[in-house]
Amino acid sequence: MSAPRPIRTFFSEVPDGADPFELLGLSAQPCDDDAVRAALDQRLARLAQHPQAHSPDADEVRLVLHVACAQLLDPLLRREILADRAARAQRTDASPVVRLPTASSIELAALHAIASSGGWNETARRRVAALLHAEQIPLATLPSIISAVGARVARERHDAASGARYGAIPALDARAARSLQQRHRARLFTKWVLLGAFVLSIGSIALLSMMLIDSYQRSVAYEQEGERRAEAEQVESGTAAMPQEESALTPVAEKASPAGTASKQAGERQRARSADGLIAPAPTELAATPIEIDPNSRAWLDAATVLLEKEPFASQTDEARLQRVGRLARLNQAAAYVWDAAADPRDLLISLDPAPSRIQAAASPVDDPATFTAPGVPPDGTLALELLEVRRGKQLDSQAFRGRRYGHLKLGPVDCDVAADSALFGSPHELRLIAARIVLDQSSNPAMIHALLEALPRAPKSDSTSELVMRVTEQSVPSIDDPSWRATCRRMLLERLAMLLGEVWSSELDALAGWIAQSYDAQARGYKPGMSSGSTVSTPAGTLPEAPAARLFDRWMREIGGLRSAPGDLEKITRIRQKREARLALARGPMQRFAAQQVSCAEALALLVAIETPSLAADVERVTSEALAIRARAMRVIEQMEIAEHTISRLWRIRLSREPERREQS
């Protein structure tokens, strides 16, 4: 079920696809500016008396009314809208044809919105989205409309310099170029150049140009299609027009060729990849989907359904759980991109493929901690025997020992045990030095660090011990006079051992940490065009997601701060911050610290959605409290992470669908 259209909630008499005249309740006749302004005032006054006058939907409708007013205050555009309306009525009488958006009017209104918002920013994005919503144009066409606006501005800029208008449109065929010339020539000098200069002056052209590059083909195809349809209608007088039902199912971009064909193929490719775990809102689908939720959101919601409802929670290994955390984090990154109105659908192609799985092949038998305490396996023990013989009085053949190098092989646990013993308290002194060198050669061998750890309680409190620990762990050691010296040396060796064992046996955790860090970082930064190119490049293993999660929390808090808050919101904000501090104080280690940040992000997002859409607050509260109660009882940190990330995905589903979550979905 989709949300009711806001405009119909407040003005039930306004028909679907209403033009600015209908939105303002004006008859389709020439009128002056005063009449337009009076109509706007009348509409706003009526809106103010509505029970939902203070809802976000009401704000959206106000925006739409203002945009309609702005359109009608432009005499040129007013005439064009009247002409479009007359033509539409004529077409409706003649034969049922698909209604294509009147690109020029939408683009003009979009440019008005952008210009009046101070450039392409969050406000402009919302205004244009509201405009499209009111015009019942899929939000997915936003990129092409903005691109078209940018294209005009850029062309004007180029033409002003070269003196050859339209010469900078290489992909356009001659007929289309002529059509475009005829269509736009009259107003380009007066309107676009002036407004374009304004947009240029506020620095928006860079962003618009970036978008233009990616969607240029689509915007050209869109223009061509409009011209061709107009020509065909003129020639065939409506007899060859496509039946409305069929047309409605045919994507606009698909009808346009050759770019439309290419777009269709791309869409099919993307759909195919979708089955392999990619979120792929194909452009062709986006343009055709007759729903109120914008197609990018719909594509995301479909992907979310798979991840949120089809994958089991219970009876999973830690590794499987963590893989799921990674995929959910990616899904949430895509949601954030959709929310941030990613201009290019390609930017939403975010890989959900699992990160590299456990790398056991790299582990050698001597890395297995189970062998550290097991009886030795020959040839392990050969070096140990030589060292022990010397300690029992056998003549030390220092030349023979010094000639050997151990860095290229991994000694076994028995050899490591005796070498570490000998390095710390072996005798004679020269044997200690030789053994110390062996220890340093093996400082990346977990068995050697284990051996040092076991030998340390019996080691003398000396500078040589300090130096050995310092060189093996590559960290500074407190002075031997420091009361914490023994404990610190032991802790450092323990952390070194865990690091080496983790690299061999749990490297997938670091890969997933980097993966999750990337998703959180992308969400914290917010969408910028072209970001997708970086989103599929894995971050270095070991990159921790803790800091990006903290930044994302700050982002949600900033956005909450920018909204009109209700009584009690401040208390909720304080409580979220306090719980976050408490969690961080209780957390030990990077995984627990991330889990603390992550669940705080979930709470902050929940509050943000609840404040944004008060009608959904109860549902958001239910989803969050239920899930976090389960999380609070989880005994394993990865389970906590999975529950929190899953909750974030559910919150995104509510935010993007603008609907309460169905009970069975949870």
Partner 1 sequence: MTGSWCVAVLSAVLSASPSETQTGPIPALRDRLAALSPDDPMGYFLLAEEVMHEMQGDRGLQLARTLFVLASVTDRRSSVPQGLTAGAALALASISSSDDERQWLLALIEPGSPRRPARVDDALQEEASLNAAEALSFARAGDAVALHERLRSDDVYRTLRRLGDEGASAIDLLERASDRAPCAACRNRRIIKSQIADTSDDVYTLCPICLGNPGPAYALRQYRETLAVEALLLGAQGESWSAHDWLSSGRAALEPDLDVLPEHFGVDPDRVRWNDDPISEDPLDGVWIR
Residues 546-605 that bind partner 1 (CB under 8 A): 575, 578-579, 581-583, 585-592, 595-596
Q: Is 123 among the residues that bind partner 1 (CB under 8 A)?
A: no
In this chain, which of 56, 96, 369, 478 binds partner 1, going by CB under 8 A?
A: 369
List, in order, residues 6 or more apart from 49 with CB less than 8 Å away.
Answer: none
In this chain, which of 375, 403, 567, 568 binds partner 1, going by CB under 8 A?
A: 375
User: Which residue, 371 or 523, has its beta carbon nearer to partner 1?
Assistant: 371
Over the window 445 to 474, marking each residue x when it contacts partner 1 by CB under 8 A and - when it does not, the resulting string is: --------xx-xxx----------------
User: Which residue, 102 or 507, has its beta carbon nearer to partner 1?
Assistant: 507
User: Which residue, 278 or 517, has its beta carbon nearer to partner 1?
Assistant: 517
Helix/strand/coil (H, E, C) string of 366-432? Answer: HHCHHHCCCCCCCCCCHHHHHHHHHHCCCCCCHHHHHCCCCCCCCCCHHHHHHHHHHHHHCCCHHHH
CA distance 609 to 455: 57
- For the CB of residue 602, give the shortest distance to partner 1 in the complex, in Å: 13
SS3 of residue 354 by DSSP? coil
Sequence-separated contacts (24+) of 85-89 with Cβ below 8 Å: 85/19, 85/21, 85/28, 86/28
List, in order, residues 6 or more apart from 541 with CB less than 8 Å away.
Answer: 507, 510, 511, 513, 514
In this chain, which of 370, 403, 537, 540 binds partner 1, going by CB under 8 A?
A: 370
Under a CB-based contact definition with an 8 Å cutoff, are residues 450 and 504 in contact?
Answer: no
User: Which residue, 318 or 569, has its beta carbon nearer to partner 1?
Assistant: 318
* Cβ atoms < 10 Å from Cβ of 341: 18
User: Which residue, 202 or 363, has its beta carbon nearer to partner 1?
Assistant: 363
CA distance 196 to 188: 10
Half-sphere exposure of 217 (CA within 13 A, CB side): 15
User: Which residue, 132 or 387, has its beta carbon nearer to partner 1?
Assistant: 387
Q: Is 3 among the residues that bind partner 1 (CB under 8 A)?
A: no
User: Which residue, 312 or 378, has its beta carbon nearer to partner 1?
Assistant: 378
In this chain, which of 159, 292, 340, 368 binds partner 1, going by CB under 8 A?
A: 368
Q: Is 659 among the residues that bind partner 1 (CB under 8 A)?
A: no
Q: Which of residues 194-213 bind partner 1 (CB under 8 A)?
A: none
Q: Which of residues 620-639 bind partner 1 (CB under 8 A)?
A: 628-629, 631-639
Under a CB-based contact definition with an 8 Å cutoff, are residues 450 and 416 in contact?
Answer: yes
| Sign of the torsion formed by the C-alpha atoms of 2, 325, 357 and 540 | positive
- For the CB of residue 565, give the shortest distance to partner 1 in the complex, in Å: 20
- For the CB of residue 502, give the shortest distance to partner 1 in the complex, in Å: 3
| Sign of the torsion formed by the C-alpha atoms of 652, 135, 264 and 174 | negative
Q: Is 272 among the residues that bind partner 1 (CB under 8 A)?
A: no
Q: Which of residues 8-47 bind partner 1 (CB under 8 A)?
A: none
Q: Which of residues 294-333 bind partner 1 (CB under 8 A)?
A: 318
Two structure tokens written together for 346: 């390609």
Q: Is 360 among the residues that bind partner 1 (CB under 8 A)?
A: no
- For the CB of residue 38, give the shortest distance to partner 1 in the complex, in Å: 55
Q: What is the DSSP letter of 526?
A: -
Over the window 638 to 657, marking each residue x when it contacts partner 1 by CB under 8 A and - when it does not, the resulting string is: xxx-----------------
- For the CB of residue 472, give the shortest distance to partner 1 in the complex, in Å: 15
User: Which residue, 211 or 628, has its beta carbon nearer to partner 1?
Assistant: 628
Two structure tokens written together for 459: 């080691």
- For the CB of residue 19, give the shortest distance to partner 1 in the complex, in Å: 54
Residue 190 sits at φ, ψ, to 5 deg, of -75, -45
- For the CB of residue 445, give the shortest distance to partner 1 in the complex, in Å: 15
Q: Which helix (H) or strand (E) holds 16?
A: none
Q: Which of residues 472-531 bind partner 1 (CB under 8 A)?
A: 483-484, 486-487, 490-491, 494-495, 497-499, 501-503, 505-507, 509-510, 512-513
Q: Is 356 among the residues that bind partner 1 (CB under 8 A)?
A: no
Number of residues that bind partner 1 (CB under 8 A): 79
Q: Which of residues 378-407 bind partner 1 (CB under 8 A)?
A: 378, 380-381, 384-385, 388-389, 392, 394
List, in order, residues 6 or more apart from 153 with CB less than 8 Å away.
Answer: 192, 195, 196, 199, 200, 205, 208
- For the CB of residue 586, give the shortest distance to partner 1 in the complex, in Å: 5
Two structure tokens written together for 639: 């389970």
User: Which residue, 64 or 573, has its beta carbon nearer to partner 1?
Assistant: 573
- 351: β partners: 278
| Helical pair 174-187 and 205-236, crossing angle rounded to 10 deg | 110
Two structure tokens written together for 68: 């309609």
User: Which residue, 189 or 313, has its beta carbon nearer to partner 1?
Assistant: 313
Q: What is the DSSP letter of 151?
A: H
- For the CB of residue 112, give the shortest distance to partner 1 in the complex, in Å: 48
Q: Is 273 among the residues that bind partner 1 (CB under 8 A)?
A: no
Q: Is 362 among the residues that bind partner 1 (CB under 8 A)?
A: no
User: Which residue, 219 or 507, has its beta carbon nearer to partner 1?
Assistant: 507
Q: Which of residues 402-441 bind partner 1 (CB under 8 A)?
A: 413-414, 417-418
User: Which residue, 154 or 604, has its beta carbon nearer to partner 1?
Assistant: 604
- Among candidate residues 46, 218, 47, the one with its CA nearest the CA of residue 140: 218
Under a CB-based contact definition with an 8 Å cutoff, are residues 583 and 596 in contact?
Answer: yes
